[in-house]
């Protein structure tokens, strides 16, 4: 407690005595701001005081950045699957004001060093193949993270693509950034999950990143309203822009050879229905939320795909953490057993695995999805196709999620007959009775381009350009 008081005093003394300025702000870290936030949470009118100091610090940075010819923008990325699409990056790159980079950070969530490096290699390959300026932050030989000095570049404005800052270590951990960096945040998906105690929503709107970011770019007006309700800072830094990853669904995608084309050719049926299965990773009862039904149906789904080899083609899109979590839960004894399971899918003429990467084309060209994941309940509405939610005991949803569940099909995740009935009746026979209901919900809640006339990347770029316009 004593060190926290010292940090708060250092910060407030620097502000009160006029020591805090453009030259000195970099000597302080976001840990100073974090302990101030913790203290003010316990105070009457603490929110107003915290926001006053936060705004003061942000204005010092804004005054400095507005005088610069170029501003270095860093996308803070940790998975290829959470990449928001190239639209915003390209807008920044084309401008004379900004210089964008992708800072790919390694994840540290309990897996072995070899798994960390294997995952990092895959993610690095993805970003480099997109012709983006990628900053490699991990030495793949030693497993050591490079320092800012070793990399020779440091972002002045960060665009975070994940709120889970505990996945990061050392200087990449949010609280270890110096205060001369401005942080923004784009949610990695739609916030829909809840837990039995009804406090998980605070993880989605009230973490450090939500309360310390200069701006949070929200995917829907519902998200802005929930930030107002659950974040310590309310909606003071929430900006409704839409979700950049969904921009692709408003655009005509290039006609190119894709995973679906290959599978349709393999089965020799161009009219075969294209189904995505997206299993979630929350297997452990100790997880803050419980959505995964994988333990009950991982073989059942394989058998279903095999049964309908001529009528359907499948792409399995597991959550990036499912492999590690399934091994930890004892479903598979080791990585080799997981790989054997994946290979059984690949051995089917009508199936493939898609572990990572962008999934706009995957979604847009599909006919249906079966899932127990969360954000896809909203994301899949952008392609206007039917979806089956696999249920289990312990699944809970916030207010937005409860409304989404009503407009989708659902079945017990262990009920093979019910899952098969969805495939036969809704997918193969095209008896989609919920379509109109889904379309009304989408138009009223998620169609940001129709509401505002611009896509999400354009909205975010316009906000950054306006706020950082040269003096």
DSSP for 103-114, written as a single string: EE----SS--HH
- Let me know if 434 is exposed, middle or buried by CB neighbors in 10 A (0-12, 13-18, 19+): middle
- Tell me how far apart the alpha carbons of residues 279 and 298 are, in angstroms, rounded to a whole number: 9
Q: What is the CATH number of the domain that holds 287?
A: 3.40.50.2000
197, 83: one domain: yes
Both structure tokens of 132: 């983006």
Buried b (16+ CB within 10 A) or exposed e, 174-208: beebebbbbbbbbbbbbbbbbbeeeebbebbbbbb
Contacts of residue 1, defined as CB under 8 A and 6 or more positions apart, other chains included, come to none
- Is 428 within 8 Å of 420 (Cβ atoms)? no
DSSP one-letter string for 276-322: EEE-----STTSSS----HHHHHHHHHHHHHHTTTTEEEEE---TTH
Same domain as 441, residue 359: yes
Residues 301 and 427 in one domain: yes
Query: Which domain does 94 fall in, by range?
Result: 2-248+455-467
Do 238 and 270 have their domain in common? Answer: no
Same-domain status, 243 and 296 = no
- Determine the Cα–Cα distance for residues 286 and 288; give it in Å rounded to an integer: 6
Q: Is 4 exposed, middle or buried (0-12, 13-18, 19+ CB in 10 A)?
A: middle
* Partners of 76 in the β-ladder: 103, 160
H or E element at residue 172: none
Question: Tokens 């294209």, residue?
Answer: 274
One pLDDT digit (tens) per residue for the chain, 471 residues: 689 899 999 999 999 999 999 999 999 999 999 999 999 999 999 999 999 999 999 999 999 999 999 999 999 999 988 899 999 999 999 999 999 999 999 988 877 888 889 999 999 999 999 989 999 999 999 999 999 999 999 999 999 999 988 889 999 999 999 999 999 999 988 988 888 888 888 888 999 999 999 999 999 999 999 999 999 999 999 999 999 999 999 988 766 658 999 999 999 999 999 999 999 998 887 788 889 999 999 999 999 999 999 999 999 999 888 998 999 999 999 999 999 999 999 999 999 999 877 788 899 999 999 999 889 999 999 999 999 999 999 899 988 999 999 999 999 999 999 999 999 999 999 999 999 999 999 999 999 998 888 999 999 999 999 999 987
Q: For residue 321, what pLDDT is reported?
A: 87
Q: Please choose, from the candidates 84, 124, 75, 126, the residue with its C-alpha nearest in 3D space to the C-alpha of residue 102.
A: 75
> Domain count of the chain?
2
Q: Do residues 162 and 132 share a domain?
A: yes
Q: What is the pTM of this model?
A: 0.87
Same domain? For 305 and 420 the reply is: yes
Q: How far apart are the C-alpha atoms of 6 and 256, rounded to whole Å? A: 59
Question: How many C-beta atoms surround the C-beta of residue 435 within 10 A?
Answer: 15
Decide if 319 contacts 373 (C-beta within 8 A).
yes
For residue 173, give the H/E element and its range. none
d(CA 202, CA 398): 11
For 226-258, the DSSP string reads: HHHHHSTTTTTTEEE---GGGGGGGSPPP----
> Is 110 in the same domain as 8?
yes
- Cα–Cα distance measured from residue 356 to residue 121, given in angstroms and rounded to the nearest whole number: 12
Residues 359 and 239 in one domain: no
CATH number at residue 70: 3.40.50
Is the domain of 18 the same as that of 156? yes
Examine the domain organization and report whether 233 and 341 are in the same domain: no
Same domain, 73 and 206: yes
CA quadruple 70, 22, 469, 50: dihedral sign: positive
| Integer-rounded Cα radius of gyration of the chain | 23
The reported pLDDT for the residue numbered 252 is: 80
């Amino acid at each position: 407690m004593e060190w926290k008081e010292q940090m708060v005093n250092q910060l407030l003394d620097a502000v009160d005595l006029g020591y805090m300025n453009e030259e000195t702000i970099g000597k302080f870290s976001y840990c100073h701001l974090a302990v101030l936030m913790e203290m003010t949470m316990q105070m009457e009118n603490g929110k107003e005081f915290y926001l006053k100091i936060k705004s003061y610090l942000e204005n010092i940075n804004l005054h400095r950045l507005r005088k610069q010819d170029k501003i270095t923008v860093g996308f803070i990325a940790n998975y290829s699957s959470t990449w928001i699409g190239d639209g915003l990056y390209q807008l920044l790159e084309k401008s004379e004001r900004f210089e964008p980079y992708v800072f790919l950070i390694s994840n540290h969530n309990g897996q072995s060093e070899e798994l960390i490096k294997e995952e990092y290699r895959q993610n690095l390959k993805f970003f480099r193949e997109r012709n983006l300026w990628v900053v490699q932050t991990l030495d793949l030989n030693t497993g050591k993270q490079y320092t800012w000095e070793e990399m020779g570049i440091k972002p002045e404005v960060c665009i975070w693509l994940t709120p889970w800052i505990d996945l990061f270590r050392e200087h990449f951990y949010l609280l270890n950034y110096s205060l001369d960096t401005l942080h923004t945040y784009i949610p990695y998906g739609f916030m829909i999950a809840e837990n039995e105690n009804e406090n998980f929503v605070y993880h989605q709107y009230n973490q450090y990143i939500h309360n310390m970011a200069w701006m949070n770019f929200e995917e829907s007006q519902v998200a802005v309203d929930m930030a107002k309700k659950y974040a310590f800072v309310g909606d003071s830094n929430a900006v409704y822009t839409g979700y950049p990853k969904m921009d692709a669904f408003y655009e005509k995608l290039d006609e190119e050879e894709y995973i679906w084309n290959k599978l349709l050719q393999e089965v020799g049926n161009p009219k075969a229905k294209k189904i995505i299965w997206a299993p979630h990773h929350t297997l452990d009862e100790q997880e803050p939320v419980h959505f995964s039904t994988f333990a009950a149906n991982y073989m059942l789904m394989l058998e279903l795909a095999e049964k309908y080899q001529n009528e359907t083609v499948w792409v399995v899109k597991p959550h990036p953490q499912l492999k590690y979590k399934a091994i930890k839960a004892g479903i598979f004894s080791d990585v080799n057993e997981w790989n054997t399971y994946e290979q059984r899918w690949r051995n089917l003429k009508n199936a493939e695995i898609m572990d990572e990467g962008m999934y706009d084309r995957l979604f847009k060209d599909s006919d249906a999805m079966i899932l127990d994941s969360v954000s896809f309940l909203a994301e899949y509405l952008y392609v206007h196709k039917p979806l089956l939610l696999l249920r289990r005991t312990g699944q809970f949803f916030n207010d937005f999620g409860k409304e989404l569940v009503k407009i989708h099909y659902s079945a017990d995740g262990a009920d093979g007959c019910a899952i098969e009935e969805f495939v036969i009746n809704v997918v193969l026979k095209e008896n989609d009775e919920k379509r109109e209901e889904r379309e009304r919900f989408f138009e009223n809640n998620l169609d940001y381009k129709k509401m505002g006339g611009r896509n999400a990347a354009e909205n975010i770029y316009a906000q950054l350009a306006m706020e950082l316009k040269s003096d």
